[in-house]
Amino acid sequence: MRAVCKVTLGARAVRLIGPPGVARALRRDDLSAVLVETHMSGGRVTDVWWLLYGRRGEPALRAPQGAHGEKELVDWLMSLPGFDVDAMVRAMRFRGNATFELWKAPRIAVRARQAGPGRG
Instruction: Please state the domain extents for the chain.
Output: 6-115
| N-terminal to C-terminal alpha carbon distance within the chain | 51
Please state whether the predicted TM-score (pTM) of the whole model is above 0.85.
Answer: no
How confident is residue 109, by pLDDT bands cut at 50, 70 and 90? very low
Tell me what percent of the residues of the chain surpass a pLDDT of 70.
Answer: 81
**SS3 for 44?**
coil
pLDDT at residue 6 greater than cutoff 70: yes
| Mean pLDDT of the chain, nearest integer | 85
Q: How many C-alpha atoms does 7 have within 13 Å on its Cβ side?
A: 23
Give per-residue pLDDT as tens, 37-74. Answer: 998 876 655 689 999 999 999 999 999 999 999 999 99
Contacts of 2 (CB under 8 A, 6+ apart): none
Please give the sequence-ordered ranges of beta strands (E in DSSP) within 10-87, or none if there are none: 13-18, 22-27, 33-40, 46-53, 59-64
Give residue 96's pLDDT band: very low, low, confident or very high (50, 70, 90): confident
HSE value, Cβ hemisphere, 13 Å, CA-based, for 22: 6
